[in-house]
Chains A and B, each alone.
Chain A
């Protein structure tokens, strides 16, 4: 298929690029892959047929952390360009096989790992949590795919149930009716599937009478909040809810944890949606927990590389992974716990602890797990 470069120029505002390199300078994979965002923009702008450009494997190295587009002084939509290119490739069936599988799995089973749809809520079986549709409640805890199926992240889901059940929060989950939110699907290039998921989910939420959504993953939070066209239901990340519960005195933590912890800002929570304070408020409220800030934090935080479909992509990068850099930085600070608030950060960072052989020095925990320990 011949690509019309004019569409790209207009859609992603490539013509206003001033070639300052702010994008490349701040890119978290700049030393890990040949991906050079500034050059990609210029090359796409100056070619009659960009299709050969788009075949490069480094296009799958982008984590869609959005540091580039957030800082771009000209207003180029860099990350949207990456997603647009991936969309083209997906339509042509030219995506890496692992990505293709993840997309197909989501279409068939509602999750990228291809686990059975019917077993999505198995983790919650004995927790006494309300099922929306069976019991009336207006607050949805949207669990998401990783927290439903990944054994490590399931621990986050159960921790959150434990926390919320200690308060008067009336909430429920959708159980096996829940489907993938589509955030990563969109970032892997499957726009059509994303649109279908958004439409189906919106209909399901509205039909179920949901008035408020709480998400576990910042990725689900992001897409509900910013990309679902007709949702009109307030969305919160769970850290916002817990911070509120602590502030209003509805959640009390009595057990002291006595440890030094630092925090990895998830890109989809921090940079992209400016939720910086709530996770820190929770951590500093935990008795005995001493909080230490990473050198690079908040808007300057370094991406863990878990976003943008990177959980399903292989290759495209080389050298030390950012996860390992982060873990080493945390260990150098003396932190015993690297806290985070995102399933993907949790998985990539925990993996990095293992590959760096630092399991005896530091543990990676989700904030919800720490709170659950402290109550």
Chain B
């Protein structure tokens, strides 16, 4: 039977129509072989637009459809559904991308129209060769892996666990809470971070549905949406958690009296080799740091900790553990690193005392921090002048071009706390105040009313004069250079992608944007999803955000995971590869090149065979197969060649 093709050309408002002559395109299409009807319409993706296609399928017996519109990434599903609803196999649709690949990138109307014609001719030629395919269905495992246990990971894990689903919460550090656990008060409401946060960490520890794995990292991920197999490495803590009571006697006994800088206290205090990061830590268990422990690093120690432990929980023979888990979806919430201010030497960080990062200030201001919440100089005195410098490592071509979004507000909150605690003269050196969130502008006003001086000019450098720190900048509103002496400088250090984010991206098969943060599937419409089905993002690993935005994204990621599990099964593209056993010579080239280990070798028959469940349809094997035995559905030799012929 001769096929009847319907061609539909979308104006996309003026997106396409301004550059491509859509009427002309319709007149041209009708001349192509097999085309029964060709129409153009303002917005084809709208309901009336789709009805146009459906009506033609019904009334004109159209059995092949070509849509000339935007990228198939945008609306292929929309139009496939339109075909299905009329009983036509959805794989009889072909999309000619005349927006991203034509109207958006060209200026001259005649030339753009000519190119659109070529793209259409190719699409029509291809659709004639397309075959009916049926989507595969796969089961979704109702458990979720959450990677990272900061506020994002905790929020996501609790939401999912409260839904009754199993969650594996993996955290690299010995405690959960991430950066939020280090904060004192939170802007703009000034709630104490611990007060609003500790209940959540405690709930994680109590939840029967959450299996918490601290000191652990994901090593490998296999499988696909609904059926991931995850390999987790649990590093030895040298403490038996089932026995440890968190009493802290071991820390007291540790012979490393001078200690090493505490990570949790941002180097503002020291800890022993066996330690509990902070008194509210969850889990409240001791852990041995193998780098500073004399026994583990030098092989020699009196093991006073072992003696001191009444619970007999310390075991130096503990080994790392490899754990395998099956999950249906994964949420990545690996957080951020603070920008390293050493990279901007003009600010004297590391050269002078009392120049600190904003996170270090949080520890100073925290009642559980090294000064018990007093804002003091290194020598124990109260500062009389404090400068806060904005945009250190953000909005800067030399470091990171993006705005870190939280530092303006954090800086103003810290200025408020510093004023309250010290009564010092306080200066905020800023370029612009980005107070975009709910209640933020109001907070900015409040801080101004508290008598804090705002100088519109970025700090240019810091040096010492007469024993005080001098901030050099320009008051750009007056047009006057200034040099202001203070006793303490707090650098508004920005947020960066985590060190090692490349490796995480590699393990999970996701991408990073140019700034190093993980890339979402669509910046506006799919901000939680990734290019890997069943893998979602939450919090600062996707880009700098404040706590409210982080919690919102984490809840959204949890909702995605729950929705997926609730479906029970999911349709997967049938565009997989089939190997023709009659043509396969058993050379195994396809097995070598397959990035998903989806091809097995059948020894008995001496040929290769594709595991449909693992095949992602990348086409690598079809390209390398010397005998053309590997044939990919929807991308067959005929289909691709006829499309190319249509182009020339």
B345: which A residues are within 8 A, CB to CB?
298-300
Partner of A25, one of B398, B432, B460: B460
List of A residues within 8 angstroms of B460 by Cβ: 21-26, 67, 71
A35-82 contacts to B, CB under 8 A, are 36, 38-39, 67, 70-75
- Chain A residues contacting B299 (CB-CB under 8 Å) are none
Bound Cα distance from A74 to B401, whole angstroms: 8
Instruction: Mark B422-451 against chain A: 1 for CB-CB distance below 8 A, else 0.
Output: 000000000110000000000000000000
**B397→A72 contact, CB < 8 A:** yes
Complex contacts, A72 vs chain B, CB 8 Å: 397
Chain B, residue nearest A329 (CB): B465
- Cα(A39)–Cα(B481), bound, Å: 12
Does B465 contact A295, Cβ atoms closer than 8 Å? yes
A111-138 CB mask vs B (1 if < 8 Å, else 0) is 0000000000000000000000000000
Closest CB in chain B relative to A16 CB, distance in Å: 9
Given A18-B431, A74-B397, A75-B397, are A25 and B479 also a contact pair (CB < 8 Å)?
no
Least distance between A68 CB and chain B CB atoms (Å): 9
Q: Is the CB of A300 within 8 A of B463?
A: yes
CB < 8 Å: which of A25, A67, A70, A298 contacts B474? A25
- Residues on B with C-beta less than 8 A from A18 are 395, 431-432
- Least Cβ distance of A294 to chain B in Å? 10
Which residue on chain B has the smallest CB distance to residue A34? Answer: B479
Asked if A177 is at the interface of the complex by the 8 Å CB criterion, the answer is no
Query: Knowing A25-B457, A25-B459 touch, does A71 contact B346 (C-beta < 8 A)?
Result: yes
In the bound complex, residues from chain A placing their C-beta under 8 Å from that of B396 are 73
User: Is the pair B476, A26 in contact by a Cβ cutoff of 8 Å?
Assistant: no
Is residue B573 within 8 Å, beta carbon to beta carbon, of the partner chain?
no
Residue pair B348, A20 in contact (C-beta under 8 Å): no
Set of chain A residues within 8 Å of B457, measured between Cβ atoms: 20-22, 24-25
Contact B458 A20 (CB under 8 A): yes
CB within 8 Å for A38 and B476 given contacts A20-B431, A25-B457, A73-B397: yes
Measured between beta carbons, the chain A residues less than 8 angstroms from B431 are: 18, 20, 73
- Report if A21-B397 is in contact (Cβ < 8 Å); known contacts: A71-B346, A299-B345, A300-B345: no
Is the CB of A27 closer than 8 A to any CB of chain B? yes
Assembly CA distance A75 to B395 (angstroms): 11
Check A27 against B481 for contact (C-beta < 8 Å). yes
Q: Is the CB of B463 within 8 A of A73?
A: no
In the complex, chain B residues whose CB is within 8 Å of the CB of A23: 460, 474
B463 touches A19 (CB 8 A): no
User: Hey, which chain A residues are within 8 Å of B397, CB to CB?
Assistant: 72-75
CA distance A298 to B459 in the complex (A): 18
CA separation between A156 and B479, bound complex, in Å?
Answer: 42
Chain A, residue nearest B462 (CB): A300
A87 to B203: give the CA distance in the assembly, Å.
69
In the complex the two chains form, what is the Cα distance from A6 to B475 in whole Å? 28
Q: In the complex the two chains form, is B461's CB within 8 Å of A25's CB?
A: yes
Given contacts A300-B346, A300-B348, A21 and B474 within 8 Å (CB-CB): yes
Considering the complex, give the chain A residue whose CB is closest to the CB of B401.
A73
For chain B residues 473-491, which have a beta carbon within 8 Å of chain A?
Answer: 473-476, 479, 481-482
A296 located at the interface, meaning its Cβ lies under 8 Å from any Cβ of chain B in the complex: yes
A20: chain B residues within 8 A (beta carbon): 391, 431, 457-458, 476
Residue of A with least CB distance to B352: A295
- Contact partners of B479 in chain A: CB under 8 A: 36, 38-39
Quick check: B473 and A300 within 8 Å, CB to CB?
Answer: no
- Chain A residue with the shortest CB-CB distance to B455: A21
Complex contact A21–B458 (CB within 8 A): yes
Tell me if B243 is interfacial: C-beta within 8 Å of chain A: no
Once the chains bind, are B464 and A21 in contact (CB under 8 Å)?
no
Q: Which of A36, A73, A75 contacts B458 (CB 8 A)?
A: A73
For residue B472, CB closer than 8 A to chain A, the reply is: yes
CB distance from B136 to the nearest CB of A (A): 50
Residues in A145-196 with C-beta less than 8 Å from chain B: none
Give Cα A80–Cα B575 distance, bound, in whole angstroms.
56
**Residues 290 to 307 of chain A near chain B (Cβ within 8 Å):** 295-296, 298-300
Q: How far is the CA of A75 from the CA of B401 in the complex (A)?
A: 10
Q: Report A-chain residues with C-beta under 8 Å of the C-beta of B465.
A: 295
Interface centre among A24, A31, A67, A72 (most CB of B within 10 A): A24
Instruction: Count B-side interface residues using an 8 Å CB cutoff.
Output: 28
Which residues in A have their C-beta under 8 angstroms from that of B458? 20-22, 25, 73
Nearest opposing residue in chain A for B351, CB measure:
A300
Judge whether A100 is part of the interface by a CB distance below 8 angstroms.
Answer: no
* Cα–Cα, bound, A75→B346 (Å): 17
A30 at the interface (CB under 8 A from B): yes
Which residue of A24, A27, A74, A295 contacts B463 across the interface (Cβ within 8 Å)?
A295
A-contact bits for B394-416, CB 8 A (1 contact / 0 none):
01111000000000000000000
- Chain A neighbourhood of B391, CB < 8 A: 20, 73
> From residue B537, how far is it (CB to closest CB) to chain A in Å?
28
Residues of A within 8 A of B473 (CB): 21-22, 25
In the complex formed, the residue of B with least CB distance to A68 is: B460
Question: Closest chain A residue to B399 by CB distance?
Answer: A73
Closest chain B residue, CB of each to CB of A21: B474
A19: chain B residues at CB < 8 Å are 476
A66 to chain B, nearest CB (A): 13
CB distance from A364 to the nearest CB of B (A): 21
Residues of B within 8 A of A70 (CB): 398
User: Which one of A20, A39, A299 has the greatest number of beta carbons of chain B within 10 Å?
Assistant: A20
| A295 contacts across to B, CB distance below 8 A | 463-465
A18 to chain B, nearest CB (A): 6
* A26 lies within 8 A of B463 (CB): no
A38–B461 Cα distance when bound, in Å, is 16
How far does the alpha carbon of A72 sit from the alpha carbon of B398 in the complex, in Å?
A: 8
Q: What chain B residues lie within 8 Å of A25 (beta carbons)?
A: 457-461, 472-474, 481-482
Which among A30, A67, A73, A298 is the interface contact of B481 at CB below 8 angstroms? A30
Interface residues of A in 249-295 (CB under 8 A from B): 295
Question: Which of B395, B476, B479 counts the most chain A CB atoms within 10 A?
Answer: B476
Q: Which residue of B lies closest to A76 (CB)?
A: B397
Partner of A299, one of B346, B432, B456, B474: B346
- Shortest distance from the beta carbon of A298 to any chain B beta carbon, whole Å: 6
Q: Give A298 to B348 CA distance when docked, in angstroms.
A: 10
Bound Cα distance A300, B459 (Å): 13
Chain B residue numbers with a CB within 8 Å of A298 are: 345
Closest to B400 in A: A73
Q: Which chain B residues border A74 with CB–CB below 8 Å?
A: 397
Q: A21 to B474: give the CA distance in the assembly, Å.
A: 5
Q: Are B395 and A73 in contact (CB under 8 A)?
A: yes
Report the bound CA distance from A25 to B455 in whole Å: 12
> Within the assembled complex, what's the spacing in Å between the Cα atoms of A338 and B479?
34
Give B contacts to A, CB under 8 Å. Answer: 345-346, 348, 391, 395-398, 431-432, 456-465, 472-476, 479, 481-482
A interface residues with partner B (beta carbon < 8 Å): 18-27, 30-31, 36, 38-39, 67, 70-75, 295-296, 298-300
**16 A-B pairs, CB-CB below 8 angstroms?**
A18-B395, A18-B432, A20-B458, A21-B458, A22-B460, A25-B459, A25-B481, A26-B460, A38-B474, A38-B476, A71-B346, A75-B397, A295-B464, A300-B346, A300-B461, A300-B463
Given A24-B457, A24-B474, A74-B397: 11 more A-B contacts, CB < 8 Å: A20-B391, A21-B456, A21-B473, A25-B461, A25-B472, A30-B474, A39-B479, A70-B398, A73-B396, A296-B463, A300-B461
Q: Rank and list the top 7 A-B pairs by shortest CB-CB distance, nearest first.
A: A25-B460, A21-B474, A26-B460, A73-B396, A21-B457, A24-B474, A25-B473
